[in-house]
Amino acid sequence: MDTIKSQQVTFKVFRFNEETDYLPYYNTYVMDVTHEEVVLDILNRIKWDHDGSLSYRRSCRHGICGVCSIKVNGKGILACKSRLFDLIDVFGSELVIEPLSTKRAIKDLIIDKKDFWDKHAAVKPFLVSDIVEHPASEHLVSPHDAEKLLEADYCIQCGACHYSCPALAINEEFIGPAAFAAAYRFSADVRDEASVERLHVVNEEAQGVWDCVKCMECAEVCPKEVNPIEKITKLHNMIFEAGVAKNNVATRHAVGFAHSIEKHGLLDEGELVRYSEGNIGVLKHVPVALKMFAKGKIVLPWNMPKADKLDEIKKLIKSSSTVKF
């Protein structure tokens, strides 16, 4: 017979009631947990056995409604899906339980997700299509076309990626990974007719895909393996393919790589900055460039290194390029 393994864990639980508290505080509970328990079991035990006022969201208990997402030691998780023993493996036996965003806490682990839903709505997260009320046949989507959605439609809107995204934490206009994944989901659907409209939304400076810092946090945190950054890359590609890319620092920065590689095989770092920023914009980088130059960190054009077999690289760029800018 299997013996049930158990371990003592110290839980520090974030507490805050926006109606009565000025500042949040933490309650500490030392509890024995067994290897089959998930975080939600612990929250339930705290509520039922220790403090009935502890508030958190839960519903499906099957990892499909997305409401139970919180953070444990900074890692976004679904409370009903995350096994305690897996967390102990990574973090040891002291676990800090917090809402996804302490800034947005209303009561304990419950946050106000309005910004999340507003941004979600902004990308039209639904199929836009003229429906024939009485179609002669089914509107079939081929398996190949369905595959193009990748895993984008697995999103359960838990918000774990949204509230883990560092770009969003700094720039509140940024649409964020979950809504981008939704934008991709519908724009990549062969039946959809609002693709270009959505691409314009995600192409705007500050709010759009260009402000992503590429930290891969959204790919790491997502409990449903949606891989939002992959969809963000796809949106970048679609922006170029659909010809809606504007001629600005962000797009030139991407295109500049192709030019540079074609010329040298490698990246001409100095030229990339000039190409991206333009002749005037580049001036703001001069102070740093001078400091780097003094330390032997700038390669002058006539010393620019080149990859061997450059002819091979040029040939491949010519034959494999799929987009024009």
Partners of 28 in the beta sheet?
Answer: 12
Contacts of 258 by beta carbon, 8 Å cutoff, 6+ apart: 317, 321
Q: How far apart are the C-alpha atoms of 61 and 53, rounded to whole Å? A: 20
Interface pick for other proteins out of 30, 140, 213, 286 (rule CB under 8 A): 213
Q: Does 224 bind ligand SF4 (CB under 6 A)?
A: yes
Contacts of 173 by beta carbon, 8 Å cutoff, 6+ apart: 206, 207
CB 75 within 8 A of CB 81: no
Strand 69-72 to 105-107 pairing: unpaired
Which listed range, 13-21, 143-151, 162-170, 296-304, lies at the site for ligand SF4 (CB under 6 A)?
A: 162-170
Q: Which two tokens stand for residue 3?
A: 């013996």
User: At 83, is the secondary structure helix, strand, or coil?
Assistant: strand
b/e sequence 200-209, b meaning 16+ C-beta within 10 Å: ebbbeeebbb
b/e sequence 148-169, b meaning 16+ C-beta within 10 Å: ebbbbbbbbbbbbbbbbbebbe
Smallest distance from the beta carbon of 177 to ligand SF4, in angstroms? 4
CB closer to ligand FES, 60 vs 286: 60
Query: Binds 141, which of ligand SF4, ligand FES, other proteins, none (CB < 5 to 8 A, cut-off by type)?
Result: none
Q: Does 260 bind ligand SF4 (CB under 6 A)?
A: no
Interface pick for ligand SF4 out of 216, 290, 307, 323 (rule CB under 6 A): 216
Interface pick for ligand SF4 out of 229, 238, 239, 273 (rule CB under 6 A): 229
CB closer to ligand FES, 65 vs 106: 65
* Interacting residues toward ligand FES by CB under 6 A: 58-61, 63-68, 78-80
Instruction: State the residues that interact with other proteins by CB under 8 A.
Output: 73-75, 90-91, 166-167, 170-171, 205-206, 210-217, 219-220, 227, 233, 236-237, 240, 249-251, 253-258, 260-261, 265-267, 269, 273, 276-277, 287-288, 291-292, 295-299, 305, 307-309, 312-313, 315-317, 319-323, 325
Instruction: State the residues that interact with ligand SF4 by CB under 6 A.
Output: 155-161, 165-167, 177-178, 181, 212-218, 221-222, 224, 226, 228-229, 232
